[in-house]
Amino acid sequence: MIFVAGSANLDFVVRAAHIPAPGETVLGRGFKTYPGGKGANQAVAAARAGAVPTHMLLALGDDAYAVPLEASLHVAGVQRHVVRVADQATGTAFICVSDDAENAITVAPGANLALRAADLPALAGFSHLLLQLETPVPTVTAYARAARAQGVKVVLNAAPAQHLDAELLALLDMLIVNQGELALLAGHQGSIAECLARIAVPCVVVTLGAHGCCARCDGVILTQPAFAVKSIDSTGAGDTFCGVLVAALSRGSGLEQALRQAGAAGALACTRPGAQSSIPTQAEVSGFLARQPEATPAQTAALRTYGGFDA
């Protein structure tokens, strides 16, 4: 079983030709709201990955924005542990998605900031605790410490990017970051390999967008080239990757297989609009992978060269 503790936001999404520059006004073409938030997205992704019961601790305001968030988690089969916050609005995110599938996101955390250490229930029976950084870092650290004390593996998606102290990093079994987050945590602008050498976490997974992903786990380097898809909206793709990766590990898959599953799910999420609305089911991921060839030696070599692993 997987326990996710983190954020839930209602996403307000506008599509436009491009993302506005500072001071620029862009005329959008469409507007929709979608259930989102990094924690809730990852919980839905884990639940849709199949065969792994998923629970989530989240904080919501006593308002209308909370209704679609709870409904989406319920439909996905996520068991909810809700902290109701009367004096804070439910978290929201304001997202502009461009025609080339890039996005710019501003988050108003609201009730997400109300999660406290005492809110985490006992974790007996859970294999993994999955965390993110849209809730207070002291709370995240307390949850990681509690999970470690109960023998539960701790996975942190260190997003949104921010500096973290050695205390939190020392509590992690796995760290998941994108390339920018990796550089920030490493305090280094060199190659991926150089940055990984500066991170004292046993297993670090790095998502690389159109290049794929890689991992350094107990000194072993693994790479997974990206899958070719027609991307229309990358919102939630990273969260999909995180949830599916942890679900695969919880089912007993090896890390190499889990990276392939997660990479495929993240790619499929880019082909649909929205965050939770874009997350594929396990059947969809399996069908997609059945049509994909194994990575060629040339693709693997190119990714290792990109990461600086063979320098």
**Residue-level pLDDT at 99:** 87
**Residue-level pLDDT at 133:** 97
CA distances from 283 to 48, 57, 254 (A): 9, 26, 19
Tell me the pairing of strands 2-5 and 128-131.
Answer: parallel
Question: How far apart are alpha carbons 278 and 266 in whole angstroms?
Answer: 9
pTM, two decimal places? 0.94
Tell me the pairing of strands 103-108 and 54-61.
Answer: unpaired
Question: How far apart are alpha carbons 52 and 55 in whole angstroms?
Answer: 10
**Residue-level pLDDT at 291:** 94
- Known active-site residue 239: yes
Residues 6 or more apart in contact with residue 303 via CB below 8 angstroms: 208, 211, 212, 214, 223, 224, 225
Question: How far apart are alpha carbons 85 and 80 in whole angstroms?
Answer: 15
**Residue-level pLDDT at 311:** 65
**Residue ranges covered by each domain of the chain:** 2-21+30-305
Residues 6 or more apart in contact with residue 189 via CB below 8 angstroms: 183
**Residue-level pLDDT at 9:** 96
Tell me the pairing of strands 103-108 and 91-97.
Answer: antiparallel
For residue 241, the surrounding DSSP H or E stretch is helix 237-250
Tell me the pairing of strands 91-97 and 9-15.
Answer: parallel
| Amino acid occupying residue 129 | L
**Residue-level pLDDT at 169:** 97
**pLDDT per position in the chain (311 positions), as tens?**
999 999 999 999 999 999 999 999 999 988 999 999 999 999 999 999 988 999 999 999 999 999 999 999 999 999 999 999 999 999 999 999 898 888 888 989 999 999 999 999 999 999 999 999 999 999 999 999 999 999 999 999 999 999 999 999 999 999 999 999 999 999 999 999 999 999 999 999 999 998 999 999 999 999 999 998 998 888 889 999 999 999 999 999 999 999 999 999 999 999 998 889 999 999 999 999 999 988 899 999 999 999 999 86
Question: How far apart are alpha carbons 112 and 85 in whole angstroms?
Answer: 9
Which CATH architecture best describes the domain 2-21+30-305? 3-Layer(aba) Sandwich (3.40)
Residue 239: Cβ within 10 Å count: 30
| Pair 144, 129: CB distance under 8 Å | yes
Q: Active-site residue among 62, 165, 239, 310?
A: 239
Question: How far apart are alpha carbons 126 and 269 in whole angstroms?
Answer: 26
